[in-house]
Structure 1
Amino acid sequence: MRRTSLALLFLLLNACQRSPVGQEAASAPTGGAASRLERAAIESGAIADPAKVSPVGLFQRSHEAGRDALCVVPGRDGALRFGLEAVFGEEPACRGQGAARRAGDKLILSFKGGDRCIIVAQYDGDQVALPGVVDLACADLCEGRGSLEGVSFPRIASDAAAALRARDRSGDPLCAAQ
């Protein structure tokens, strides 16, 4: 929401300060107005640089059908571990644990288990968003008609302690300590 408001403000200000004809095309960088605004906000310290924000922490959303939670904690040798649960009512739910690694603005989630379920999620520092389509190998993580497709997890805490305190709906640790 904050980025959208800043982008809208920048676009309005930019519209009032038009360059003379012919100079716009020569002076405009290829990133567009929103990316220039975001770079300026990062440089000024108004917002954090998503490339430098660690994914360690707790991401969680409550909704009318339940609660979706994702914890990311440091593992051995600098690796990351995660646990997630997405609840879709009384019965259907998806849950799993595994190893995570960061690749630019992506968080690659490799689930433990028989089938090799790997999900490449979008990560912007404030939220982890799973894609609208996931591999069929990931279907074993879900009960009933549940699916991880399109599930998003907004950040609520940026520390490993909060992530380690997170519990699934049956009271077990979401990210078990190693």
Structure 2
Amino acid sequence: MRRTSAALLLLSAAACQRAPIAPDAGPSEGAVSGLERAAIASGAITDARRMSPVGLYQRRHEAGRDALCVIPGQAGRFRFGLEAVFGEEPSCRGHGMARRAGDKLILSFRGSDRCIIVAQYDGDQVALPGVVDMACADLCQGRGSLEGVSFPRVSSDAASALRGRNRSGDLLCGDQ
């Protein structure tokens, strides 16, 4: 009886283990579920890993508006400009260069003390993490913070991104 119980315990433990990721699978492929892969293959959803981040992203809310523009840059990189508004006084703004890394968009801000933010990019939105490096504090006025700000896509073309404006009416992705 003890041997039967031990054998059943070993079998149930083996059944609970995850299947290994194929050795040729890339780092972002392991994070994609089988159902998601099937939906991408059938064309039901787009593959965010192949979708360019170029475009205009905006979200209006009760305290203001958050906007991000992403345009093509040099050597496969992108240029970006962003503004997040939290009422009349607090806001954050900055611009710089960006690059893709799988499902991430790495934002390197110009003019700040080495502020780099690794944002999540899923094709439909850019979401900043809930914790941002202290080096990014000089991008914000008042009690504003870029922590947890998300920017839903409103267009997928560079022309719309170039027309995006901040609260003052200046171009988000203007001469940088």
What band does the TM-score fall into relative to the shorter chain?
Answer: 0.7 to 0.9
Q: Match of 1:88?
A: 86
Q: Match of 2:174?
A: 176
8 Å Cα contact 1:164-1:177 kept in structure 2: no
Measured in 2, the distance between the counterparts of 1:35 and 1:76 equals 33
* Partner SS state of residue 176, structure 1: coil
Q: Match of 2:4?
A: none
Determine whether 1:154 maps to 2:152.
yes
The residue type equivalent to 1:71 in the other structure is C
Q: Match of 1:5?
A: none
User: Structure 1 66/147 Cα, relative in aligned 2: closer, same or farther at 3 Å?
Assistant: same
8 Å Cα contact 2:112-2:139 kept in structure 1: no
Cα displacement string for residues 15-71 of structure 1 (whole angstroms, at most 9, x for unaligned residues): xxxxxxx9xx59x95689x81111111000111111100000011100000000110
Which segment drifts farther, 68-77 or 138-147? 68-77
Equivalent position to 1:167, from 162, 165, 175 = 165
Deviation at 1:78, TM superposition (A): 2.7
* Partner SS state of residue 141, structure 2: coil
Matches for 1:4-19 after TM superposition, within 5 Å: none
Measured in 2, the distance between the counterparts of 1:93 and 1:117 equals 16
Measured in 2, the distance between the counterparts of 1:114 and 1:104 equals 25
* Partner SS state of residue 37, structure 1: helix
* Partner SS state of residue 144, structure 2: coil
Q: How many residues end up aligned between the 2 structures?
A: 153
Q: Match of 2:44?
A: 46
Deviation at 1:76, TM superposition (A): 2.4
Q: Match of 1:122?
A: 120
Deviation at 1:177, TM superposition (A): 4.7
Query: Counting helix residues as a fraction of each chain, which structure ranks higher?
Result: 1
Measured in 2, the distance between the counterparts of 1:104 and 1:114 equals 25
Determine whether 1:55 maps to 2:53.
yes
Mark the runs of 5 or more structure 2 residues left unpaired by the alignment: 1-11, 22-29
Larger Rg: 2
The residue type equivalent to 1:136 in the other structure is M
Cα displacement string for residues 86-108 of structure 1 (whole angstroms, at most 9, x for unaligned residues): 00001110000000000011000
Determine whether 1:144 maps to 2:139.
no
Mark the runs of 5 or more structure 1 residues left unpaired by the alignment: 1-21
* Partner SS state of residue 149, structure 1: coil
Q: Match of 1:36?
A: 34
The residue type equivalent to 1:103 in the other structure is A
8 Å Cα contact 1:95-1:142 kept in structure 2: yes
The residue type equivalent to 2:72 in the other structure is P
Q: Match of 2:65?
A: 67
Measured in 2, the distance between the counterparts of 1:173 and 1:51 equals 28
Q: Match of 2:110?
A: 112
Measured in 2, the distance between the counterparts of 1:114 and 1:170 equals 21
| TM-score, normalised relative to structure 2 | 0.81
| TM-score, normalised relative to structure 1 | 0.80
Measured in 2, the distance between the counterparts of 1:177 and 1:133 equals 29
* Partner SS state of residue 40, structure 1: helix
